[in-house]
Structure 1
C-alpha cells in the first residue's frame, strides 16, 4: 500500500535534495496551495479536526532535521504494530522528537479534513477551501459518491470534460 510506504518515498526524494509536496490521491485542489507554504518552517502539514497532523498533505523542505525526522518515521514503520498506521506513527514521533523541526499546521479553514468539509462546513465556508481531502470515510465508492455529491468530480472523455 502506497500510503503505508510514504516515509520511504518521501525520504527518497529528500535525500536527493528535493523539496516535496506529498498529497494523497483522494484530494481536489480548488486553488494552488503553494502560497501557504511560507515562513521559516521545515514542514507544513494538514491538521485533522481533532488536532493531530494528517500525513495526507505535507510540504517538506530538504534539511538535515527533516531528513532525521523522516528517517525516524521510516524506522518506526518497520516496528509499528497493526493497531497503528503510518499517520499515528508520525504523530507519535513528532510529539517525542528531540530535533529542532519547525512544523506549521495548515489552517483548517483552507485545508480541512473530510469530516470538516463534507459534514460540518456550509457553502460559505467551503468557498475559502484550497484543498479538499476526502478522508474520514472508507471505500472508493463512498469517496467517489461524496465527491460527486459536492460537484468535485470531473470525468474526462477524450477531449471533453464533464462535471459529474
Structure 2
C-alpha cells in the first residue's frame, strides 16, 4: 500500500515539474508554439473586419460613405474604361475632386480590386461564395439580377454598421457636388433618383432608379433593407429595383414610418430624362442603356459637352438635351 502511495506521489510530482517547465518555456518563447496551436480565424469575421476598416477610412466625419461597385468589365476597355470615365467626372466636376477621398470602390472580382489598389483608391473586395462577377452582365440577364441582389445585401450590411451612404453606379457622372442638392434633414430616410420626375419630390408615383440614392442609417432603413432582400426568392426574374419600387408603392413605407424624397431629374439627370439646364445639373446617369460600350460612348459625349460649357462665355447657351445618346439607343438592338 505504501509502495502504491509513493508511486502516485512520484507521478504527481513529475507532472507538476513538467507543467511548470512547459509554462516557463511558453512564456520565454511563445512564438515557438504558434505552429502547434494555430489561431483559427473565421473567414467571414475577417472579411467583416476588413469592411469596417475600409468604411472607416472612407467615411466623412458624420459617418457617410460614397459607394460604387465595379467588376473587371468596368475597369478594362480598348480605349477608355467605365471606371476611368467615372473618375473623370470627379476630376472635371465642380467641387467634386475631394469627394474621391470618401469614395469606397467595392470590387466583385480580383481584376477590379487590383486596378482599384493601383489607383490608390479606397478598395474593398466583396467575396461571393461560388460566384465571381468578372464579365459584363448585360441588363436583365440572370447574372445581372444576381449581382444586383448581392449589392443589396452588401449595402444592408453597411447600414447595420451605422454608416450612411450614397450609392452610385459607376455609369453616373458627378459633375457637381451632390451634397449641395441632397437634404440633411434627419427626418428623411431615403433620397433616390428617378427615371422621370413628375414634379413632386414626395410623390410615390415617381419611377425610382437605384443607380443613385442616399440612405440614412437607422432602425427603419435597416428594416427596409432586410425586407427588401427577403423578397429575393419570391421575385424570380425581377431586378432589385423593381422589387423596391413595388415596396415603396405598397404598405411598407407606412408600416415603417419611412420618409422618402424623390430626386428631380433637373439636378439628378439621366438618359431616360435629360436635364434641360446644364447650369443646374449635378449628376448624369447612363440609364435607359444596355451595354457598357454604349454607356462609355455617350457619357464621353456628355463629358465633352460639359468641358466646352466650362470654357464657354457666361452668356453662351448649352444644354445636354441636344445629345441624342445614339450609342445607347442602338444598344437595345444588340
- Could you tell me the TM-score, scaled by structure 1's length? 0.82
Note the residue ranges of structure 2 that are not aligned, 5 or more in a row.
Answer: 1-143, 198-205, 306-334
Q: Secondary structure at the match of 1:141?
A: helix
User: Could you tell me which residue of structure 1 aligns to residue 262 of structure 2?
Assistant: 105
Among 3, 6, 9, the alignment partner of 2:154 is 9
User: Could you tell me which residue of structure 1 aligns to residue 191 of structure 2?
Assistant: 44
Residue 146 in structure 1 maps to residue 298 in structure 2: yes
User: Could you tell me which residue of structure 2 aligns to residue 87 of structure 1?
Assistant: 241
User: Could you tell me which residue of structure 2 aligns to residue 78 of structure 1?
Assistant: 233
Partners of 1:95 and 1:35 in 2: CA distance: 28
Partners of 2:188 and 2:256 in 1: CA distance: 13
In 2, are the aligned partners of 1:80 and 1:89 still within 8 Å (CA)? Answer: yes
User: Do the aligned partners of residues 152 and 74 (structure 1) sit closer, same or farther apart at CA in structure 2, a change above 3 Å counting?
Assistant: farther
Residue 24 in structure 1 maps to residue 176 in structure 2: no
In 1, are the aligned partners of 2:148 and 2:239 still within 8 Å (CA)? Answer: no
Q: Secondary structure at the match of 2:257?
A: coil
Shift of 1:32: 1.1
In 2, are the aligned partners of 1:72 and 1:93 still within 8 Å (CA)? Answer: no
Post-superposition CA distance 1:20-41 (Å, at most 9, x none): 1111111110011112222230
| More relative contact order, 1 or 2 (CA 8 Å, 6+ apart) | 1
Shift of 1:86: 0.8
User: Could you tell me which residue of structure 2 aligns to residue 129 of structure 1?
Assistant: 281
Note the residue ranges of structure 1 that are not aligned, 5 or more in a row.
Answer: 154-164
Query: Which one is further off, 50-59 or 67-76?
Result: 50-59
Count of residue pairs the alignment pairs up: 147
User: Do the aligned partners of residues 18 and 110 (structure 1) sit closer, same or farther apart at CA in structure 2, a change above 3 Å counting?
Assistant: same
In 1, are the aligned partners of 2:208 and 2:241 still within 8 Å (CA)? Answer: yes
- Which protein is richer in strand relative to its size? 1
User: Do the aligned partners of residues 95 and 112 (structure 1) sit closer, same or farther apart at CA in structure 2, a change above 3 Å counting?
Assistant: same
- Which protein is richer in helix relative to its size? 2
Larger Rg: 2
In 1, are the aligned partners of 2:193 and 2:265 still within 8 Å (CA)? Answer: yes
Residue 54 in structure 1 maps to residue 218 in structure 2: no
Query: Which one is further off, 100-109 or 143-152?
Result: 143-152
Partners of 2:212 and 2:248 in 1: CA distance: 16
User: Do the aligned partners of residues 133 and 152 (structure 1) sit closer, same or farther apart at CA in structure 2, a change above 3 Å counting?
Assistant: farther
- Could you tell me the TM-score, scaled by structure 2's length? 0.42
In 2, are the aligned partners of 1:28 and 1:152 still within 8 Å (CA)? Answer: no
